[in-house]
Amino acid sequence: MVKTKKGKRAAQKEPPSAFFARTRPKFLDWMPATPDELLLAAQGRREERDAQLKKVTAIEKAKRAEKKSPVR
């Protein structure tokens, strides 16, 4: 039995449904991605890859231009 100080209310007990709702694992609420979400994710990866390719290509062009022009 839990003793409380005089004048203070005892802590209200949580109903079992609230306890189980609060402690329910989050992975049970997982929903698979919709086709639209998959397309957006693929488009984002494609744009990222293209940006990286442009960056590498620009670096390579700069290196080739530096090799062609004699520095003296």
Residue 69 lies in a domain: yes
Residue 47 lies in a domain: yes
Say how far apart CA 36 and CA 39 lie, in whole Å: 5
Residue 61 lies in a domain: yes
> What are 37's two structure tokens?
């979400």
State the pTM of this model: 0.54
Interval 30-65: pLDDT, tens: 999 999 999 999 999 999 999 999 999 999 999 999
At residue 72, the pLDDT reads 57
**Domain of residue 59, residue span:** 33-72
Quote the number of domains for the chain.
1
Interval 8-26: pLDDT, tens: 555 678 999 999 999 999 9
Residue 54 lies in a domain: yes
User: CB–CB of 15/23 below 8 Å?
Assistant: no
User: CB–CB of 26/34 below 8 Å?
Assistant: no
Residue 25 lies in a domain: no
